[in-house]
Copies of this chain bind each other. A is one copy, B any other.
Amino acid sequence: MTQLRLALAQINPVIGDFAGNIERIVHSVRDAREAGAQLIAVGEMALTGYPVEDLVLRESFIAASQSAFVDLRHRLSAEGLDDIAIVVGTLDADGSVRPQATGPRGLVGARNAAVMLHGGRVIAVHNKHHLPNHGVFDEDRHFVPGNEISVVTLRDPDGNASRDIRTSMVVCADLWYDSGPIAKCADENVDLLICINASPHETGKDLARLTVCRRVARRTGAIVAYVNLVGGQDELVFDGSSLVVHPDGRVLAHAPSFDESLLVVDLEIAQEGILPNVTGRTPLTEQAVREPIRAAHADLRLPRLLINSPVPRTSVRRELSAEQQTWQTLQLGLADYVRKNGFHSVVLGLSGGIDSSVCAALACDALGAENVYGVSLPSEFSSQHSCDDATDLVARTGMPHRVIPIDPMMKTFHDELPLTGLAAQNLQARIRAVLLMGISNSEGHLLLCTGNKSEIAVGYSTMYGDAVGGFAPVKDIYKTDLWQLAQWRNEFAMLHGKQPPIPENSIAKPPSAELSLDQVDAGSLPPYELLDAILQLYIDVDWGCEEIITAGYDADVVARVASMVNAAEHKRRQAPLGPKIGMKAFGRDRRLPITHCFAQ
């Protein structure tokens, strides 16, 4: 039985901000060392940020990554921080050439690597073996797979070989397959398996991660240390939630979600291991057979526990409700998109409806109410309750607010180009967009698009009208979930003795676009409970119409919904991005042709 003090640093890198990312890593190592840790791990591609996408096709990016890695090593040595073992994710590359069938230039073979550093040296490298290429991921496009694991023996400070610890590293998806690195780790009797991740949040992901960590810990007999990134990156929100799992299934430590954090934990490692038991649920099968995995061996001498003190208390992890997880995902995704892209404030149109109210409340939580600029843009079709509800929202949150009636512009346009029907409705939405973009351009606020997943799915929005914006915070939230989320946010406020930010009337009233007289959504769409149920089957799990009808839904409604979804593909292709929450978000996660006529 050996004691090891382990630190997992969940940091929030920015893609390509090498200097900043080095700072974040060095800072974590310093804190870990001060907390007496002997080994620290930082997330997948923490040095470059993740996902780098086609930046990896640029040799200058690979060169910059490699040079940043050298800088990191020097910094750690110069500051005397490298007496502890450090596992960090970065972009590695070798001289092999990847094919690019139509291009004339070969490409340096880029690899998604976990590197272990100690005493200024690279002790071991693990190149990610399983490259995810589904959903939002494109790793087969970008990386060459690894085909070996590295087993590093962490030698006992006192030279007692019976207290050496055999450790190995894997990267993210490697953990999800029993074959490949995990099988090899089991063969090699690894005691401690460090898995570095860039794992985006998705509803239910927490449980899925815990399950896979438990399965691997049991299968290999090793303690599994899972460290994730945190922070928003375009459509993705890495949620942290790093954890350490014992082969017997116990969670030894669990970092908070949605925050940068250093988790420090004392591990008791039983070198004899625990017998593998693989009767758990069937693991995922292979996408393509790779060459057999080899093992490379290395070692390093652990420092003594640097401070002979108990593990510093880390903030106790609170389990979050599903709604709170969703809220915090959206909040972090929005805050980081704004901040990392150099903005400080946002502007959005306030209709008094549920979508804009929730977006405003989210933005106030993410950026502070003083940085959220609300604009009401009433027309002749705007009801009194819309104006009242928007005013109520503003009073509750304290955000700056102005009112610009759009009737004068409507009149001028109609004088020059008389429009009726849908075209006239779209005109109103577009005039609002012009005004909001005018404010955004002149005052420097990022414009938020308040569209929800239901309306984006069926195209119930105006291109270059209410669909405009730099970021769409609730893009992946169905309307029915949005109501629930609004309720939750208000209750959460009350629970903490605060003013609920969202007007009850915005939640309770029937939704309407208010682009024509007495218009309500229910006049154009099926009831949202029905619509969302069908959309979830059609979009998130890709059921065909026949399957959905067989599940008990009306055939005409299903056909109509499917047809609306397919007809709106061109709108989605030009839509702003927003944080992924569900199984399948519009964006990188769902890639469909615009031109096609399949509606089954």
Contacts and interface: CB of A to CB of B under 8 A. Distances in A.
A293 to B, nearest CB: 14
Contact of A419 (B173, B284, B442, B573): B442
A438 B423 contact: yes
A596 B55 contact: yes
Interface in A105-157: 105, 132-135, 138, 140-141, 145
A291 interface: yes
A309 interface: no
Contacts of A408: 412, 415-416
Given A289-B291, A409-B409, A591-B54, A596 B14 contact: yes
B544 A286 contact: no
A200 B576 CA distance: 28
Interface of A: 14-17, 49, 51-55, 57-61, 63-64, 97-105, 132-135, 138, 140-141, 145, 173, 176-177, 202, 205, 208, 232-234, 284-291, 336-337, 340-341, 404-405, 408-409, 411-413, 415-417, 419-423, 426-427, 430-431, 433-435, 437-439, 441-442, 463-464, 468, 470, 541-547, 570, 573-577, 583, 588, 590-600
A417 B404 contact: yes
Given A102-B208, A234-B593, 12 more contacts: A59-B547, A99-B286, A102-B135, A103-B134, A103-B135, A134-B141, A141-B591, A233-B595, A409-B409, A430-B437, A464-B464, A573-B576
A339 to B, nearest CB: 10
A597 B19 CA distance: 11
A389 B442 CA distance: 33
Q: Which of A52, A177, A430, A433 has the most CB of B within 10 A?
A: A430
A589 to B, nearest CB: 9
Nearest to A562: B60
Contacts of A202: 102
A576 B577 contact: no
Contact of A287 (B52, B98, B573): B98
A505 to B, nearest CB: 28
A423 B442 contact: yes
B15 A544 contact: no
Nearest to A584: B103
Contacts of A546: 60
Contacts of A427: 434, 438
A291 B288 CA distance: 9
Contacts of A51: 593
A521 B54 CA distance: 30
Contact of A573 (B17, B289, B577): B577
A103 B545 CA distance: 20
A597 B404 CA distance: 36
List of 7 A-B pairs having minimum Cβ-Cβ separation, nearest first: A60-B544, A16-B598, A15-B596, A423-B441, A423-B442, A99-B284, A412-B412
Contact of A597 (B17, B63, B288): B17
Contacts of A173: 101
B470 A464 contact: no
A60 to B, nearest CB: 2
Q: Which of A336, A417, A590 has the most CB of B within 10 A?
A: A417
A433 to B, nearest CB: 6
A337 B595 contact: yes
Nearest to A337: B595
Contacts of A53: 591-593
Given A416-B408, A426-B438, A470-B570, A59 B288 contact: no
A234 B594 contact: yes
A20 B404 CA distance: 51
Contacts of A598: 15-16, 55, 61, 64
A340 B55 CA distance: 34
Contact of A433 (B409, B412, B464): B464
A286 B560 CA distance: 46
A533 to B, nearest CB: 17
